Amino acid sequence: MLDTAERGAYDGEHEAFRTTVRKMFDRHLTPNLERWENEGIVDRTFWREAGAAGLLCPTVPEEYGGPGLDFRYNAVVSEELAYAGSSAGIGLQSDIVADYLVAYGSAEQKARWLPGMVAGDVITAIAMTEPGAGSDLKGVKTVARRDGNHYEVSGSKTYITNGQNADLVVVVAKTDPEKGAKGISLILVEADREGFARGRNLDKIGQHSADTSELFFENVRVPITNCLGEEGQGFAQLMNQLPQERLSIAVMAQARAQRAFDEAVAFTKGRTAFGSTVFEFQNTRFTLADLKTRLQVGWAHLDWALMRHVAGKLTAVEASAAKLWHTETLWTICDAALQLHGGAGYMNEYPIARIWRDARVERIYGGTSEIMKEVVARSI
């Protein structure tokens, strides 16, 4: 269990909410983790259970069915989800897609989609990455051509979280390919539209229970009212929302690192070798001391970043630096924690194996560590 007694970012109401999250996860998440890992997808029933418990989209205003809370409630869910060892895509819905709709959606779009997202009846995805375009969003090839009062969306996307479950996809597409970044728009595509198809549920190194998919669009006709915000403003919208996405990843990385450390402590204290516990060896204790120090620094920094974000002060550079530091630190801690398990760490029956696998992608998605360094370097 995460020790949050001395955290500076949360108050009593946040901690009461955390208790609700833990109870819900104990009942509906933890017993199903292994099955979801094997099946490669999280049941839709879990989404509805999470919605009923108030865990989805905490920042959505009350007029659209949400509780209208601050982002720290999102962070509580993300911390507990990551510490539990789950890769369920509820964070993408709550921390990313919901805020795009709240920030840029029309009153009609908000009223149509947000209540269902809060309830867990509607599952969403955001389709940025393509086979030939990853961190460089200006390079997307998917197009949305105007045809009267409709768009025709054509192209393909890959590595899309919630791709198999999604009822609604926010598609990054070029409405005017001649204008470069200024020709990019965000288009809402319902999954039941003719011409939309899901590819395979991708076989990944880790995060097996997250349905990550290829998506295909073949002249998918949607009304021009499905444009999210103003046409041609998609790139600016993406840049405006990236700080929260990257902070969300940092939150999960920090909690996952804490779980890896806790697993290593428990294992080394219970495992004997050469007449003593593995924990009693100086190398073990010094390694764990180093990891604990990194975690202490990480929690302090994370609370600082959360408070700056809630105050509207967290910059894109600061968020990128947070993602860079926390995900790289996660990998350092996970790898060291697995090493302390010895051969047991390589066995899938031990939680550290899944934590280690799941951790690897956090240095890639949401912008690679190399891109984060570029963002930070440009500010110097």
Residue type, 349: E
Mean pLDDT of 216-235: 97
- The catalytic site residues sit at 245
Residue range 12-122 forms a domain whose CATH class is: mainly alpha
232 is written with which tokens? 């041609």
Helix or strand run (H / E) with residue 380: none
Residue range 125-232 forms a domain whose CATH class is: mainly beta
Q: How far apart are CA 11 and CA 337, in angstroms?
A: 31
Nearest CA among 63, 64, 166 for reference residue 118: 64
- Strand 184-190 and strand 168-174: pairing? antiparallel
Q: Where are the domains of the chain?
A: 12-122, 125-232, 236-377
Confidence band for 230, pLDDT divided at 50, 70 and 90? very high
Domains 125-232 and 236-377 share a fold: no
- Tens of pLDDT along 67-126? 999 999 999 999 999 999 999 999 999 999 999 999 999 999 999 999 999 999 999 999
Helix or strand run (H / E) with residue 359: helix 351-359
Does 59 score more than 70 pLDDT?
A: yes
pLDDT of residue 134: 65
pLDDT of residue 216: 98
Mean pLDDT of 153-177: 96
Mean pLDDT of 35-51: 97
Dihedral sign of CA atoms 128, 132, 135, 137 in order: negative
pLDDT of residue 189: 98
- Tens of pLDDT along 347-376? 999 999 999 999 999 999 999 999 999 999
- Tens of pLDDT along 282-326? 999 999 999 999 999 999 999 999 999 999 999 999 999 999 999
- Tens of pLDDT along 120-145? 999 999 999 998 776 667 778 999 99
pLDDT of residue 132: 78
Dihedral sign of CA atoms 135, 138, 141, 145 in order: positive
Q: What are phi and psi of 272, to 5 degrees?
A: -105, 150
Q: How far apart are CA 248 and CA 242, in angstroms?
A: 10
Q: How far apart are CA 23 and CA 19, in angstroms?
A: 6
Helix 234-270 and helix 351-359, axial crossing angle in degrees, nearest 10: 150
pLDDT of residue 135: 66
Per the CATH hierarchy, to which homologous superfamily does domain 236-377 belong? Butyryl-CoA Dehydrogenase, subunit A, domain 3 (1.20.140.10)
Query: Which residues make Cβ contacts (< 8 Å) with residue 209, sequence separation at least 6?
Result: 33, 36, 37, 39, 40, 41, 42, 86, 87, 88
Instruction: Please state the pTM of the whole predicted model.
Output: 0.95
